[in-house]
Structure 1
Amino acid sequence: MINAVICCLEVILMKRLILPYLAILLLMVCAIPSHAQKVDSMINVYGERYPQEKIYVHFDKGVYNPGETIWFKAYIQAGFLPSNISRNFYAELIDPSNGKLLQRKVVPVYESSTASHFDLPLNLDIPEVVFRAYTNWMMNFDSAFLYTKTLRVVTKSDAGMAQAAAPPILKFFPEGGDLVAGLATNVAFKGTDSRGFPIKVQGVVKDAKGATVASFKSVHDGMGKFELEPVAGAAYTAEWKDEKGTSYKAELPAVKNSGAILQINGTGPRRSFVVKRSMDAGPEMNKVFIVANIYSQVVYKATVDLGTNFMTSGLIPTDNLPSGILQVTLFNSNWQAVAERITFVNNNDYLFLADIVDLGKNLSKRGKNIISVEVPDTLRSNLSVSVTDLAVSDEGKEDIFSRFMLTDELKGFIYQPAYYFSSTADSVQQHLELVMLTHGWRRFKWEDLAAGKVPQIKYPIENYLSLKGELAGLNPSQIPQGTLLNLFMEAKDSSRQLFMLPVDNKGRFEEKGLVFFDTVKLYYSFNKNQKLTESAVVNFNNGSMPSPKLVTFNPLWRIYNPLDSNAVKRSRYIATEAERLRPEIAKRVKTLEAVTVTARQKSKSQLMDDRYTSGMFSGGDAYSFDMVDDPFAMSARDVFTFLQGRVPGLQITGAGGPDGPGLTWRGQTPTLFLNEMQVDANMLSGTPVADIAYVKVFRPPFFGAFGGGAGGAIAVYTKKGGEGRSNTNVPGGMERRTMVGYSAPKEFYAPDYSKENALYDVLDVRTTLYWAPYLLTDKSNRKVTFTFYNNDISKKLKVIVEGMNEEGRMTRIEKILE
């Protein structure tokens, strides 16, 4: 029985955004030893100090051809909240046949997410590529929890990944972990083919004498369960058949002579548990402990007295827990784990509503379509949207719900995990419990927790890129105390940043928190020490994780992704047409480059943009203000006073005041630029409005900003004459180096058929018609509208919107246009 003496019942319900569910429910039982406090406190230490990140990736579609672009948006969580841990994101394409790294991207994280692309080579001849993604922090923990997904590439032959002929597999999983003599328990099973896909199975269990002791039959995706009361010293064999009627045999796990078992029942707001021990179990089983945790936070613990009764039961309230996997562990009196069970708690608190509204559908050739995405919630949300030909679209076998709440939490392959979040029906919840019974959860090594051991952190948290390095070829005595490295970083768009970096006595220096793309030029010298500039060899690096040449083989990479015949046929047709059209497109591009085309007259705003901006400051998603012709500009005290109330979502307080302005946009501070050089608010406040010609305010995110651009950016340009400024001059006496930054972004190509272009005369066979990785909504902007044009071949399209809000709640909505 459970000890009836309860010292306290503590219920702590905290708001989701502050410190959610850290101790939602603790059932504290009197006289639990200090060793217990060490184990449960260590669980909380792991959760609070070593939270583990999870990744979900939204791809633009489900199947690709060589020569196409893989567009992706990644979302990152820690526990069940958006992660604020990592600032760098690593994505890789791997050849699954040999582990060879094909391509790699390093991109910055913005609002717990990031986006980029991979261009597949035209000569790619493998039917699958593995997409692997991780953060530096994730490398400190079990590599089995790194994000991987096999993507199908339809080649000309489309033979698929070669699979060696092998018999199907049937595995058995006693509930709690062990078969114990004399204790009746549930035994779950899972049947798969050699590729890992489920098969239907049925059979019987026989003992060594050939007597049938149980029968079984799969009820969902090769899984099921049956009850068995094992006998001491017995060995059990399953005789079973697959869906083709072929007979096989499989051994059940060995029977332990004594011990204890743990069973969990229920799928609603409560979970009941049953604990049984052997009659001849040792004294360490007279008193046992039950500890339950979710997201590495202890939410229940109790002492169970088995000294006078070999079996007892109890309840674990779960209605106030966050949805997710609850791990229940049974310890003996020495705090050694003897049984464990996981169960999924579904309180339907993980999603928020959104809607796709058709404002104007036209599926004729090159028809114009207008779609809006509406989020009724006032919380900030971060969404991505794809519009693709229906035949090659994502089939939804995995989605943001199933990845974050199921696949990212368990080892091994789960077939079509999105099914388990498709309905709240009891049958679906029971099927999900079969997944819990047939998959292990081993984020903790209990002996390590009992010993107070914590993870060894080899990979520290990264704060974007760094400008770091060291002086080579010098003794410490040759580096004067107080040495400063003066450095200009110049990007390809000619924007510059000035740094003055202290050099320590070992010749090292570092500046963290930088965001720069592609290759940058570094011009440097040592402050008032030309001799040091000439004699020292300076080695620079950006502080990111080095790229691996080979990636350790993972058996899950070989899981073949079958395609429906329509998808294969459609992809082959599109690939054939694209190959036929490629020479014609190249010819037209060459012609357009050689012939002067009379363009439509540009607006005053476009002319100002051409005159003053460059690189990532040119064009973009921004509000533009011509200060020369604006009659209200001259009356403004400073540029911030002028901008007040002119940009939706941008909050400016204290403009024109003695303490300077306060700036926020989506909860972040905008990055400020003067003539494309990063400055502070005081410098812009001190710039006379009469000297300002042009202002651009970029919506978040602005990746041209050093430091992330999470709050967007305000770029101010002063008046100039002549042909414009040149900032290519470098101060004399400076050395030059180059350094690689984040992977260069690429703009998604979306033709505007309302305009004339010689390229539009070619047949349009695009299968991804629209891709937008960042649709951002908040209380002042709950609807985002976008326009796209159909191609020449598609009659049915699928729109998919996925994302999460600032509380970690998720959404996925689909709409078929036909």
Structure 2
Amino acid sequence: MLQNRQLRNKTASDITYIIWLFCLFSYISSYSQESSQIKPIAESFTTYTQLPREIAYAHLNKSTYIKGETLAFTVYVFDKNSKQLSTVTTNVYCAIVDNEGNIIKNKMLLAQNGVCYGSFFVDEPFFSGNYNFQAYTNWMKNFDEQNFYVQGISIIDANDTTPPPLVSSHLDIQLLPEGGHLVANTPNTIGIVVKDTLGLGVPNATFELLDSNNQSLGSMGTNQFGIGKFALTPDHGTFYKVRVKTQEITQIQPLPPSEPFGIAMTLNKLTDKIILRFNTNKDTYKSIQNKPYTLLVHNGHDLKTIGIQFTDATEILTLIPHKDLLKGMNILTLFDEEGNPILERLYFKYEGVQFVKSEEANFQKDEDSTLIKIPIKTVNPKAFNNFSVSVLPTETKSYQHHQNIISALYLQPFVKGFIENAQYYFSDINRQKEFELDNLLLTQGWSSYNWQQIFNHPPNAKYSFEQGITVKAHINQSKYNTFAMFPITNNDFETFELNASNTYFEKQGLYPLDKEQLRFVELNRKNSGIKPHLFLEFSPSKIPNLEKYLKIEPLKQPIIFNSNNSQAFLINSWSGVEQLDEIVLSVRKKDSRKEQLSQQQHGKIDVFDDNLRRSYMDFASYIQTKGFRVYQNDGQLNIINPSATSGTNNSPAVFLDNMRLFDLNTLYQYRLDIVDYILVDKSGFGQGVNGGAGVIKIFTDPKISITFNENSPFQTFNVPLTFSTPSKFYTPKYAFYKTQFYKDYGVVNWLPNCKVDDEGNIVFKIDNIQTGDLKISIEGTCNDGSLISEVKNIQIN
């Protein structure tokens, strides 16, 4: 009959105690009765887990987007074991795919200190429907566990009048014995999960256990996520079923037949310990009596084992103090005497998981904006920290994330299935949530660490950690064997001196942005440039795809949007507003940059924009306005400084991207299309004897691409895969701010990379045009591994 699980009183002799022994990277306990199967299990586990793992989490500003909005995000990449940000990988890939796995948009981002941020514009390629957002690194593709991040999002096209698909009333009822087996004639615990056709839990359903004669053995109910459990001692040959009732439907689901041989497993949590109960029937007991079984506990990195033996009873109790469990996820697997895994259960230990909490937010209103301060006093402002902040109307329906940064790091990577509303278990944690999480884990069955894979298919480092782009330059022909690569935004000027026998040279750690090109030149004995003959290979040259991934279920609540009943909502002039802002900002940026460069170098500096570039035909016409005499004829260029202090040389020293040009013919009719800024120092201060006639330094803008003429000494290459520069997030402009549409779907602000100030505050502004109260969602990391995930509601009059 249906019964509540209760721990029966046992004497001390019934309790199996634990001895821990440190071995290699794992902790392994040693017992005289344990057989030799422990060593190969431990060795296989150590081999399987020796490669480090990375885990990705992406904080999206929303979960539901109106076509025409911007999907903005911050990606955090962690070391799976230490739970600290990973600094090994710089290349992070993000993609949006549809339900068929087709890639709609993707890009590569540059991670610094394990964090990067970016955005996708939700435009023409998108239609109303559900999509998956992916964030991953190349290294993650080496592993069977899903360490990359996948999140379901919903997109609404306001012009799409197609009605939403009808949802079937059929229930998906799963009956899952704890540990994985329903064993006859011994106590079992069975988990029940009731889902709808969208894959979401059906809350507060009632279920009744029936025997073969349809006699009721008791009834219970599911929680808000459609999860419940019950106890049963099944008779062999008796078939049981569960009748589930919701407000709309009644459905019957049979239990799997009970197995005549086997071991059942039940976990109970006490205040400071857990107790594992292993039960078997008399027939099984006869065949396993005194045989050495092993209980193995691991978290994907550390390993502990406990000896288990059925000696004089069909029940064994194993007590494990909480202090001896591993922080976070504990995967408990029972092995038989031959080293075969036969049962598995997941348990989560909250103690040791490092959280930080913010204090009450305060705000100060000005005429056009409101300054908001959120204190997080436990953060060390001198250590690296990053917080992403989404600001939405407090009634929003468009922020329904299943994961937060804590669940993505500590829970989802260890299970095989999708966890609905996983973030729930890691916000405002209390005993009830701990109990609910344990019920959830009871229903998860085997973990993402597959023992067949562990024993037979340890991962190989087929996919590398990626740090930028690697370029292999093959030399078709060369006279001088010295080459130079011109600088780009994230890489300096570099020369490559080769032996005559070398047929290629290689550059690792390139970080080209957007449409940046690579330019190479071969240097002669005078360090003058001649056009090289190179062929380049790039790695990576395209964004790697995820061949297999867990498709995430839809949002917690289906979105039904009727554009016919709403007023015009989005003002489609963001591009114009953005363009105007960029014009104003570019002028200010140009002035401030000129001041900054002037402080760093001696001389007069001109920072070039399109207007200044159009003012001169070429470099010669520009430089003669600086008081130099310029002679440009028949492919030759000479520059004379009439006020030179050197008696023997009156030609200034000229540099192009920090490379001295001894042959100025390189600059014959040199266009200014790609010039970033030019420094002119007619005194030659700081250049020694080489600067007696002055110094001219030309710096090109690596973000500007240009096709050089045939006489150019450069060989220019397009880069097939570059890093996307994060765009400034512009809050959408709405026609109305007091409509239900704005309350449901509006955006107030998004801040992808907040840092605490010296006083421990996150500080940001919002425009006063937005009205109503705010919902502020914070995700982030600090203090070398502490995490924060909070939602704050702020009342602003």
Hey, what does 2:631 align to over in structure 1? none
The 10-residue stretch of structure 1 (369-378 or 169-178) with the greater mean CA deviation from structure 2: 369-378
Hey, what does 2:197 align to over in structure 1? 194
Q: CA deviation at 1:432?
A: 1.0
* Aligned equivalents of 2:581, 2:386: Cα separation in 1: 41
* Aligned equivalents of 1:306, 1:37: Cα separation in 2: 21
Pick from 90, 97, 108: which aligns with 1:94? 97
Hey, what does 1:438 align to over in structure 2? 443
* Aligned equivalents of 1:349, 1:494: Cα separation in 2: 37
Q: CA deviation at 1:231?
A: 2.0
Q: CA deviation at 1:52?
A: 2.9
8 A Cα contact 2:200 2:556, kept in partner: no
Hey, what does 1:376 align to over in structure 2? 378
Hey, what does 2:669 align to over in structure 1? none
Question: Structure 1 regions of 5+ residues with no counterpart?
Answer: 13-18, 617-673, 679-689, 694-717, 752-758
Q: CA deviation at 1:788?
A: 2.2
8 A Cα contact 1:176 1:261, kept in partner: yes
Calculate percent identity across the aligned residue pairs.
Answer: 18
C-alpha distance 503-254 of structure 1, shift in aligned 2 (>3 A): farther
Hey, what does 1:407 align to over in structure 2? 412
* Aligned equivalents of 1:143, 1:26: Cα separation in 2: 23
Hey, what does 2:233 align to over in structure 1? 229
* Aligned equivalents of 1:588, 1:420: Cα separation in 2: 40
Pick from 271, 278, 281: which aligns with 2:281? 278
Pick from 42, 45, 51: which aligns with 2:44? 42
* Aligned equivalents of 2:568, 2:101: Cα separation in 1: 26
Is structure 2 residue 743 aligned with structure 1 residue 748? no
Partner AA of 2:718 in structure 1: T
What SS does the aligned partner of 1:418 have?
A: helix
Hey, what does 1:523 align to over in structure 2? 519
* Aligned equivalents of 2:761, 2:53: Cα separation in 1: 33
8 A Cα contact 2:777 2:792, kept in partner: yes
Task: Give runs of aligned pairs for residues 138-149 of structure 1, distance below 5 A.
Answer: 138-142=140-144, 144-149=146-151
Hey, what does 1:703 align to over in structure 2? none
8 A Cα contact 1:519 1:740, kept in partner: no
**Aligned residues, how many?**
685
Is structure 2 residue 586 aligned with structure 1 residue 578? no
Hey, what does 1:182 align to over in structure 2? 185
* Aligned equivalents of 1:613, 1:287: Cα separation in 2: 84
C-alpha distance 260-50 of structure 1, shift in aligned 2 (>3 A): same
Q: CA deviation at 1:370?
A: 4.2
What SS does the aligned partner of 1:443 have?
A: coil
Q: CA deviation at 1:347?
A: 1.0
Pick from 719, 743, 746: which aligns with 1:739? 719
Task: Give runs of aligned pairs for residues 490-505 of structure 1, distance below 5 A.
Answer: 490-491=487-488, 497-500=493-496
8 A Cα contact 1:501 1:511, kept in partner: no
Partner AA of 1:327 in structure 2: I
8 A Cα contact 2:145 2:449, kept in partner: no
Is structure 2 residue 258 aligned with structure 1 residue 255? yes
C-alpha distance 796-212 of structure 1, shift in aligned 2 (>3 A): closer
* Aligned equivalents of 1:253, 1:216: Cα separation in 2: 19
* Aligned equivalents of 2:63, 2:101: Cα separation in 1: 22
8 A Cα contact 2:237 2:258, kept in partner: yes
Task: Give runs of aligned pairs for residues 508-587 of structure 1, distance below 5 A.
Answer: 509-524=505-520, 538-543=535-540, 546-548=543-545, 556-557=551-552, 559=554, 562=557, 576-579=569-572, 586=576
Partner AA of 1:81 in structure 2: Q
* Aligned equivalents of 1:500, 1:262: Cα separation in 2: 65
8 A Cα contact 2:470 2:538, kept in partner: yes
C-alpha distance 257-797 of structure 1, shift in aligned 2 (>3 A): same
What SS does the aligned partner of 2:140 have?
A: helix
* Aligned equivalents of 1:256, 1:761: Cα separation in 2: 63
Hey, what does 2:117 align to over in structure 1? 115
Residues 336-364 of structure 1 deviation map (CA, whole Å, 9 limit, x = unaligned) = 111111111111532123346424135x7
Is structure 2 residue 165 aligned with structure 1 residue 162? yes
| RMSD of aligned Cα (Å) | 4.7
What SS does the aligned partner of 1:287 have?
A: coil
8 A Cα contact 1:40 1:298, kept in partner: no
Q: CA deviation at 1:806?
A: 4.6
Partner AA of 1:520 in structure 2: E
What SS does the aligned partner of 1:404 have?
A: helix
Q: CA deviation at 1:135?
A: 0.9
Partner AA of 1:124 in structure 2: F
What SS does the aligned partner of 1:403 have?
A: helix
Hey, what does 1:725 align to over in structure 2? 698
Hey, what does 1:336 align to over in structure 2? 340
* Aligned equivalents of 1:41, 1:461: Cα separation in 2: 25
8 A Cα contact 2:531 2:713, kept in partner: no
8 A Cα contact 1:288 1:331, kept in partner: no
C-alpha distance 193-57 of structure 1, shift in aligned 2 (>3 A): same
Residues 69-110 of structure 1 deviation map (CA, whole Å, 9 limit, x = unaligned) = 1111111221333334432111001122x3221111111222
Q: CA deviation at 1:526?
A: 6.4
What SS does the aligned partner of 1:82 have?
A: coil
The 10-residue stretch of structure 1 (731-740 or 502-511) with the greater mean CA deviation from structure 2: 502-511
* Aligned equivalents of 1:804, 1:591: Cα separation in 2: 32
Partner AA of 2:71 in structure 1: I
Q: CA deviation at 1:229?
A: 1.0
Q: CA deviation at 1:53?
A: 2.3
Q: Compare CA radii of gyration and give the structure with the larger one.
A: 2
Residues 225-258 of structure 1 deviation map (CA, whole Å, 9 limit, x = unaligned) = 11111222333222332232x2222121222111
* Aligned equivalents of 2:585, 2:420: Cα separation in 1: 54
Is structure 2 residue 102 aligned with structure 1 residue 129? no
Q: CA deviation at 1:609?
A: 5.1
Partner AA of 2:422 in structure 1: P
Question: Structure 2 regions of 5+ residues with no counterpart?
Answer: 1-11, 599-603, 610-654, 660-683, 702-707
C-alpha distance 225-90 of structure 1, shift in aligned 2 (>3 A): same
Q: CA deviation at 1:11?
A: 7.7
Residues 427-484 of structure 1 deviation map (CA, whole Å, 9 limit, x = unaligned) = 2221111110111343333244445x4213321222232223556xx8xxx999xx96
8 A Cα contact 1:488 1:498, kept in partner: yes
* Aligned equivalents of 2:244, 2:206: Cα separation in 1: 6
Partner AA of 2:536 in structure 1: N
C-alpha distance 322-811 of structure 1, shift in aligned 2 (>3 A): farther
The 10-residue stretch of structure 1 (123-132 or 195-204) with the greater mean CA deviation from structure 2: 123-132
